[in-house]
Homo-oligomer: A and B are copies of this chain.
Amino acid sequence: MAVYTDVSEVELEAFLSDYPAGRLLSYKGIAEGSENSNFLLHTSSGAYILTLYEKRVERDDLPFFLALMQHLAGKGISCPLPVKRRDGEVIGMLAGRPAALITFLEGMWMRRPTAGHCREVGRALAGLHLAGMDFPLVRRNALGLDGWHRLWQESRPRAHEVEPQLAAEVDEDLAVLGRQWPAGLPAGIIHADLFPDNVFFLGEELSGLIDFYFACNDLYAYDVATCLNAWCFEKDFSFNATKGRALLAGYQAVRPLSPAEKAGLPILARGSALRFMLTRLYDWLTIPDGELIRKRDPMEYIRRLRFHRTIRSPLEYGLE
């Protein structure tokens, strides 16, 4: 639920005059995305998303995110394309915030994805990994092992408010992940947040990937593990191996996983579940109830963590 900053028609029209985007016909604040303010614009040349970057996205990283979208779109990945201003820049200022105008992608995100959708997501993720291989910019993953330790230090004193035994569980997770995190796996540009609300479909066909604001350089198989967490658990927290199989098969049809990547999946999936648990926990404990942000329950990822701790073989995820 977002729209933290309203924009007047006067300032928006002034902003748009720098872009070859036609005449403004309408704009509506949309209730999607949890980090930025987003507006859906209609102009005489089509539909666009206008994003105002609020504090959480570091301004220094915007050139990386926007150049990545341009790069991927140029490689044929269906993702939003930042519109260049007449001076060649893609980042402007609006209402005191950095802002970008990007093309609007039609499609719906799947509230109830099927195994067929999971297969398409796997294919698209592998395509993204391949398309990013010659992207020249680099961004380290701020939410990797180091970042988890920092988040945990902030939340640990109050973690029992969410779950009594959580501190002991997570201390153990971090120790295990520190010892067993796989070294030397293939790495490059990853999406790092490819949840169902960031993947659009038209019917059974994947029509686009959005929200590259966590993209960074990290292990490809870690991105796969995040998708297993995001797409293959049911509402009762059971792992749906049919969906896992479909997602992994889709991925491997485009980019086969190496034996070392396969062997690493359980620890990567555990790390990925911990990462989302930790950011949710941090928000849960620190964001006041009155804020217009929907806080997401960290328990959903504690449950996933507990599942991954029990995994003895990557075959349990549906690898073939």
Which A residues form the contact surface with B (CB < 8 A)? 1-3, 6, 8-10, 12, 24-32, 40, 42, 47, 104-112, 200-202, 289-290, 292
Indicate whether A9 sits within 8 Å of B110 (C-beta atoms), given known contacts A3-B31, A28-B30, A29-B31: yes
How far, in angstroms, from A289 to B291 measured CA to CA in the complex? 9
A111 touches B32 (CB 8 A): no
Quick one: which of B3, B24, B111 contacts A108, CB cutoff 8 A? B24
Nearest residue, chain B, Cβ from A47: B42
B1 touches A292 (CB 8 A): yes
How far, in angstroms, from A263 to B290 measured CA to CA in the complex? 45
Quick one: which of B25, B200, B290 contacts A289, CB cutoff 8 A? B290
Contacts of A104 in B (CB 8 A): 26
How far, in angstroms, from A110 to B26 measured CA to CA in the complex? 11
Quick one: which of B2, B6, B12, B108 contacts A26, CB cutoff 8 A? B108
Quick one: which of B12, B47, B110, B290 contacts A290, CB cutoff 8 A? B290
16 pairs from A and B in contact (CB 8 Å cutoff): A1-B3, A1-B31, A8-B111, A9-B110, A10-B112, A24-B108, A25-B107, A25-B202, A26-B104, A26-B200, A27-B108, A28-B30, A28-B40, A31-B31, A289-B289, A289-B290
How far, in angstroms, from A28 to B106 measured CA to CA in the complex? 10
Distance between A244 CB and nearest chain B CB, rounded to angstroms: 22
Distance between A165 CB and nearest chain B CB, rounded to angstroms: 28
How far, in angstroms, from A106 to B24 measured CA to CA in the complex? 9
Contacts of A107 in B (CB 8 A): 25-26
Indicate whether A30 sits within 8 Å of B27 (C-beta atoms), given known contacts A9-B110, A47-B42: no
